[in-house]
Amino acid sequence: MQQPDDAAQTKELEFVTLVAGGQNFCIEITQIREIRRWSPVTILPHSPDYVLGVINLRGAVIPIIDLAAKLGFPRIDPTERHVIIIAAIEDCTIGLLVESVSEILGVKSDMVRETPKGTDDATTRAILGIIAMGDDMTKVINLATLLPNNDPVAA
């Protein structure tokens, strides 16, 4: 029996790389709607510490989340140098405050390594895989696990 061609099973993936909490992460480009500079938000009372507030984006109210704080790193003190990534997750649209956006990274699907097992904390579940290129390790964010459907933040 002939084995399927491995090259035919690998597909090209594109990610937007970013820095949050001083760490390299990436998000699949198909989940990103736009990238904007930081602008002040409207603060919501009694919201979790990682929720910065909401913005009005062309008539839609979008929650803005500090991605570093959500991942367990120190909060970002936003300035005009910081960036908001508007992402769509299933039927939710959210904004992610990050320190910077770096580049579009194109890789073959077999280059995305499985997240090491051994811990079962929220950060490990939030990482779909790791892309190792030279000395750099870029973690692929699983946006769906960061914002579960029952999370009141997910609009």
98-145 confidence digits (pLDDT tens): 999 999 999 999 999 988 876 666 667 888 999 998 888 999 998 887
CA dihedral over 56, 103, 89, 137, signed as positive or negative? negative
The pTM assigned to this predicted structure is 0.84
Any residues with CB less than 8 A from the CB of 141 and at least 6 apart, and which?
A: 25, 26, 27, 67, 126, 127, 128
pLDDT class of 152 with cuts at 50, 70, 90:
very low
Q: Give the mean model confidence (pLDDT) for residues 77-93.
A: 93
Q: Cβ–Cβ contacts within 10 Å for residue 26, how many?
A: 26
